[in-house]
A = this chain, B = another copy of it.
Amino acid sequence: MEKMRRGTVKFTHPPEVLSHGCAVGKKEGQGPLGKLFDHIQDDEYFGQENWEKAESQFQSAAISICLGHAAINGSDLDLAVGGDLLNQCTATSSAVKKLGSPFLGVYGACSTMAESLITAAALIDGGYGERVLASAGSHFCSAEKQFRTPLEYGSQRPPSAQWTVTGAGAVLLGKTGGKAKITAATVGAIVDMGIKDANHMGGAMAPAFADTIANHLRGVGARPGDYDAIFSGDLGVIGMDLAQELLKRDEIDISAVHHDCGEMIFDRETQDVHAGGSGCGCAASVLCAHILPMLESGQWKRVLFCATGALLSPTTVLQGASIPCIAHAVEIAAL
């Protein structure tokens, strides 16, 4: 790695994407990207006895598909890096323990897929090993139960609320042999603008996204037009607008290339998701189903993937604390 600017690095030997896999739920499968996912699971329990185990099963499925595409086993991995939204990240540890691989658990809320990728890429570039897995996932039912209200209450959701994606994504990085590579990354700093509404995550996260994008562009010396697409993780429609407006104040206009995984994964007209999708599994599954294939097929040359996370907990919300947010950017290029 070469440090370009505080937080931003270019990889000396850009780690390559050897394979990827994703698994999503029925609602995601019915959305605009439905045909692109590797596996659509209609049973919200995924054959398990509770939603937490089901969430883990989605991540297991994504990992199995990913490793299957590369024709390797868990015993071939030098490391797995991953996380989720459940308390103590238990969906990931349950999924990873089957692999028998060295494991670093990360927590970045919905920014987790970008954090996992950056950690994995940095460790490969630094010489840690040759095959490192990055994964993340989430589940609508376990997230609602844990962060908001029991589903059985049938609570009304405000228009700014987002719908947690049931799904997961996994990416296998290696030294060589892929069709896309991780060329640079920016680790974000926490930005907290004082928003306390846990049903307005897009608004809370937009300033963190804008901060990381501005830092990344300065760090690598790029303009928005240098990218075929700049993806936010799950700002939703309200957060997207806010983020673009904040960046314009900094004289950075990303509107022509800005997409949001949360905005894309559901049809807001027909799927009743309000401001869009969210959750670790949102950015992770869209990365694997749409973004990486567009690079691998050569339709895109260079993309910035910037997943965003709201670092709140149900306890801090009830205690009236504001929501610290973070965003990490990963630059991915076609080979």
A interface, CB within 8 angstroms of B:
1-3, 6-7, 9, 12, 49-50, 52-53, 78-79, 83, 85-90, 93-94, 96-97, 100-109, 115, 118-119, 122-123, 125-130, 186-190, 192, 311-316, 319, 321, 324, 326
Contact = CB atoms under 8 A, between A and B. Distances in A.
A58 to B, nearest CB: 16
Task: Quickly give the copy total for this chain.
Answer: 2
A270 to B, nearest CB: 32
Nearest to A121: B126
A104 B119 contact: yes
A6 B102 contact: yes
B315 A52 contact: yes
16 contacts: A1-B126, A1-B128, A3-B130, A6-B78, A6-B129, A50-B319, A88-B312, A90-B313, A94-B316, A94-B321, A102-B188, A104-B108, A104-B118, A104-B119, A106-B107, A122-B122
Nearest to A94: B324
A189 B100 contact: yes
| Residue from A1, A87, A115 with most neighbouring chain B CB atoms (10 Å) | A87
B78 A3 contact: yes
A311 to B, nearest CB: 4
Nearest to A49: B319
Contacts of A186: 102
Given A78-B3, A187-B102, A190-B97, A315 B90 contact: yes
Contacts of A192: 97
Q: Per DSSP, are chain A's interface residues mostly helix, strand or loop, or mixed? A: mixed
A83 B104 contact: no
Contacts of A189: 100-103
B97 A324 contact: yes
B126 A187 contact: no
A190 B126 CA distance: 23
A313 B87 contact: yes
B313 A88 contact: yes
A311 B89 contact: yes
A128 B313 CA distance: 30
Contacts of A53: 319, 321
Nearest to A311: B93
Given A9-B128, A87-B313, A119-B119, A105 B106 contact: yes
B107 A88 contact: yes
A50 B318 CA distance: 12
A48 to B, nearest CB: 10
Nearest to A76: B6
A187 B85 CA distance: 23
Contacts of A130: 3
A107 B27 CA distance: 30
